[in-house]
A and B are shown apart, each in its own frame.
Chain A
C-alpha cells in the first residue's frame, strides 16, 4: 500500500508506485490505442526533416499557437484605469476564461463582467443584455468607468456597441455622463495585442473626441506600455527611470497596482490605474510613445491624428533598446539622462562582460508576441548569442522583415530566421532538426522542453507554472540585469546537471565558473 498517514504521497510520487504502474500496464494492454512500437516509430519520425516539411505545409490546422484572442487584450487594457470594470459583451464563457487566464499568470484577482448573451440574444441581438448588464454592473461594483469589449458572438451577429450604450444610457442603466468607452474586439481578427490596441484607442477616443484641450498644451509625454504580463515590474521600473530624469509623463493604462495588491485583510477590487482626469489631460500631451509597436499601431495613429508627436519601440529590453527609449524621451522632454542611469547602464554592461565567455555563440529559440521576440532577439545578439529560431504566431510579414533587418545588423544574426504566423508545433520541428541550446518564451514552451530536452527560460506571458516572475522588471538596465541573470542561472544549472555524476562526469564539476 503506497499511501500512509506519516508520508502522504500526492500525484507526483504516488503514480510512480508499483501498484499504479501495474494498473497502468493492465489498462494499456486493452485500451485500443496505438501500440508501443507504432508510437516509438512515429515519435522518431516527427523529429525528422520529412515531417518538418509536412508540418510547414500546413495551411489550415493550428497546433499549440502562441497567441490569444482580442477581448483578452481588452480586459487587460481596462485593468490599467482607475476603478474601471471590464464589460465583455457576448457569451459569458469567454469572460470566465479571460479572468482565469489572467489570474493564473498574475496569481491575482481579475474582474470582468459579461452581458451573458444566450440563444435568444443570438436571434434578437444583445441590446437588452447591454441595458440590464450596465445597470447591474453599475450598482453592484460601483466603478468609475465601464470599458466595453466584445466576444465573437456579439461580433458575428453584428451588435452595435455605440448605439447600444446610448440606448442603455437613455434607459437609465448608468447616468448620461458616466464614462462607458468601448471597442469592437472580434477574435477572428488579429490577437490579444490587437484587442489591447483597439481598447486603448477606444478609451482615448472616448475622452479626447469632444475635448477642447489641444496637443502640446503641456510638456507631458504619454506612454502606452502595451499588453505586458510583466507590467507589474516593468511599469514601476519605467516610472523610476523617468522620475530620475525628471520627465513629466503619464502611462496610458497602468495595471501594475491592479495586478499586485497587497495581502492585508482587505480585498481591493480596484487599485491604482490611470485616472479619468489624467486621461482627459493626456490629450494635451506633447507626444505619445508606445513601448510595443505591434501592440499600439491604431492607438498611435489616433494620437497622431490629434496633433501629437508619436514614436514606438519594440519593448525596451537590453542595452541599445533602453538607450533608444531614454534618448528619445530626453530629446522630447529636453531633460538630460542623469548620471545615475549612465552608471546603471555601465553596471549591466559590466555584468555582460563578466559572463560573456558563457554566452558567446549560444543558440536560442525565442517565441512570443512580436515585440517581445524582437527585443529578446536583440538582447541575445548583444550578448554574442544567436537567436536562431524566432517565432511569433501573431507576428506578421512586416514583423518578419523587421526581424531580418535586425539579424542583418549583427554577425551573430547570420543563421537566424523569423517565423511569422507559425505555432509551437512548427517550432518543435525546427528545434528537432536544427537544435538550439535554450528556448525562451512562456509556460507553453514546457512541452517543447520535455520533447526536445532544450531548457526553457520563462520570460514572457503567460507564466503559469512559476511564481512571481512578473513582479520584477525585464525592461530597462535593471530589467536587463535580471534577464541576464535568469539566462545565466539556467545555463549554469544545465552545466552542473551535465557534470554531476560522481566518478563519471564530475571532472568538470567546477566550483568556480
Chain B
C-alpha cells in the first residue's frame, strides 16, 4: 500500500490558473469554483476517527451546479440517470423510452448491466423500447400513444413483470399526464406501471435523474411492499446502488452470502420488480453507489426503520474494512465468518499483489467518473502501489466531495464537472501513466500516448467489485499500462515529431 505519497500541489495550482486564463472572464470566475487542490486536513491528533476512517484532506469545490454552455461538459442528463442507471437494470420490466427515438437508441445496451434471463421473453434489459414520437405526438400530445404502447407491450411481452415510463425531454414540455395514463393502465392490465419524470432538461446532470428515479420507486413500487411474499430472516440485507456492471453485483453478492447474509433485494443490477418490492423486509440496506441511491435508503430508514450503511468493494483493503463493518452490525457469529472470508481470499490477494505490484508500483493515475468511483476506486489503485494525481466527478454533490477527503492525498488535483478543454490540458501537463474516465475521453487521451481505461463500463471487462473483481482490475490496469503499443508512437526517423536533417 502506498499510503504515504503527496502530489505536487503547487504545480497543480499553476495548471488551474493556466486553464482558467483561456475562458472569457465571467466564466473563468465560475469555473474557478469547481477546481482546486486537496489540502491536508487539519485534524486534532486525538480526534475520534469515524466509520469512514481518518480525514486526510479537504477537497471541497462547488458542485451540482449548472454546466456552463458551450464548454463541452462530459455530463449527461436526468434521463440517463433514471433510465440508464437506476431503472434500466430492472430486468423483468419493460422500460419505455418515452419520446423521440434518440435517447433510447444511444443508451441501448451501453451500460453493461448484466442479467440472467431470456431477452424479449422474461427479461428486457438489452432492448430499445420506445414510443418513437412523431410530430403529431408533439402537437397533439402523447398520452393516447402511451396508452396504446402499453397495450402493445402486453401483447408482445406478456411475461413482463411491469412497465416503467422513462420521460424524454418533450414529455414535460407538451403537458402530457403520464401519471394518469400509468395509473389507469396499471389497473387495466393488473401490473405495476411506473411513470418517471426524468426529462433531460431537469436538473443539471444525471444526478437529478437518480433522485427522481428513487422517488418513483418510493411512490410506485414500495407502496406494494406489504403484500410482497418473503419470509423475513435475521440476516436479510439489500444491496443498493450496485448496477451489476460487468457482473459487479454478483461478485459482491457472493461475498455477502459467504459471510452468512441473505440478499433480499438487489438494486438494481439483475433485479426483478418482486425483489424491489420486498426490500423493506430486510434488516439492513448496504449502499454502494451512495450518489445514485442514498435517497431511497434515507426513505426506508424513515418509513421502515431500516438502517443503511455505505461500503466499498473495490480493492482488498476496502473490501476487508467493509466486510468487518457490515459484520459488526450482525454480531459475533457473522463477524467470525467475515474473518474467515477475508482469510480465505488473502492468498488470492497476495498472489495478485505479487504478480502486478512490481509492474504498477508508483504509476500515477488521473480519474474522472460519475458520482462515486472517483473516490471509491482510489484505494484499489493504492493497494497496487499506484498513486492518484487527480480526480473529479461528473455529478457529485457537496457530501461526495466531503467523503473524498477520506481518500485523497494532499496535493491531489480536484475538478468538478470538468470540461473537455480542462481535462485535456490537465492530462497533458500531468502526463499520468493512466487515465480512468469515459468513452468520450478515451480516444483523445490515448492519442497523446497515455494509457486509458473506461471506468464507467469497465472498458467491456469486469467485474471489478469484490475479490474476484480485484484480480480482473489489476490485470486490466497492467495490460493498459504495460502494452508495447505505447512505445511505437514515434517513427524512428523523426525526433519528437520533427523530421531530421533529411529534408534538403
Contact = CB atoms under 8 A, between A and B. Distances in A.
Interface of A: 1-6, 8-11, 14-15, 19-20, 23-24, 27-28, 30-34, 38-39, 42-43, 46, 54-55, 58-65, 67-72, 87, 90-94, 96-101, 103-104, 107-119, 121-122, 129-130, 132-141, 151-153, 156-157, 186-189, 191, 261, 263-269, 425, 428, 444, 447, 451
Contact of A191 (B101, B270, B351): B101
Contacts, number: 347
Contact of A93 (B80, B138, B149, B442): B80
Given A94-B200, A137-B70, A132 B173 contact: no
B69 A115 contact: yes
Contact of B23 (A20, A129, A140): A140
Given A61-B152, A137-B71, A156 B169 contact: yes
A5 B76 contact: no
Contacts of A38: 122, 159
B55 interface: no
Given A110-B440, A156-B173, A267-B445, 10 more contacts: A5-B351, A8-B474, A33-B92, A63-B156, A68-B102, A97-B106, A122-B172, A136-B68, A153-B200, A189-B134
Contacts of A134: 70
A135 B497 contact: no
Nearest to A153: B169
A93 B133 CA distance: 18
Contact of A65 (B126, B128, B170, B355): B128
A108 B443 contact: yes
A265 B80 contact: no
A65 B72 CA distance: 29
Given A31-B274, A60-B145, A447 B126 contact: yes
Contacts of A61: 129, 131, 148-149, 152-153, 156
Interface of B: 22-24, 27, 66-80, 91-92, 99-103, 105-108, 110, 114, 116-123, 126-135, 137-138, 145, 148-149, 152-153, 155-156, 158-159, 161, 168-170, 172-174, 200-204, 206, 229-230, 246-247, 250, 253-254, 257, 263, 270, 272-275, 277, 344-345, 348, 351-352, 354-355, 419-421, 424, 438-440, 442-449, 461-463, 467-468, 471-472, 474-475, 489-491, 497
A188 B134 contact: yes
Contacts of A59: 148, 152
B16 to A, nearest CB: 15
A129 B138 contact: no
A236 to B, nearest CB: 20
A111 B338 CA distance: 48
A263 B446 contact: yes
Question: Which of B91, B119, B133, B345 lies at the interface centre, i.e. has the most chain A CB atoms within 10 A of its CB?
Answer: B133
Given A100-B110, A265-B490, A46 B247 contact: no
Given A94-B200, A113-B72, A264 B99 contact: no
Contacts of B345: 1
B475 A8 contact: yes
Given A11-B247, A188-B134, A114 B420 contact: no
A30 B278 CA distance: 11
A16 to B, nearest CB: 11
Contacts of B490: 264-265
A391 to B, nearest CB: 15
A447 B129 CA distance: 14
Nearest to B488: A263
Given A1-B344, A31-B274, A152 B72 contact: no
A109 B442 CA distance: 7
Nearest to A93: B77
A67 B254 CA distance: 40
Contacts of B351: 4-6
A150 B71 CA distance: 16
A42 B121 contact: yes
A137 B419 CA distance: 11
Nearest to B231: A30
A65 B134 CA distance: 14
A138 B203 CA distance: 26
Contacts of B137: 188
A437 to B, nearest CB: 22
Contacts of A129: 69
Given A11-B461, A103-B442, A3 B468 contact: yes
B489 A118 contact: no
Contact of B202 (A10, A119, A263): A119
A111 B443 CA distance: 11
Contact of A23 (B149, B253, B274): B253
Given A20-B254, A23-B257, A156 B116 contact: no
A69 B105 contact: yes
Contacts of A28: 116
Contacts of B74: 96
B105 A2 contact: no
A313 B412 CA distance: 56
Contacts of B202: 118-119
B421 A140 contact: yes
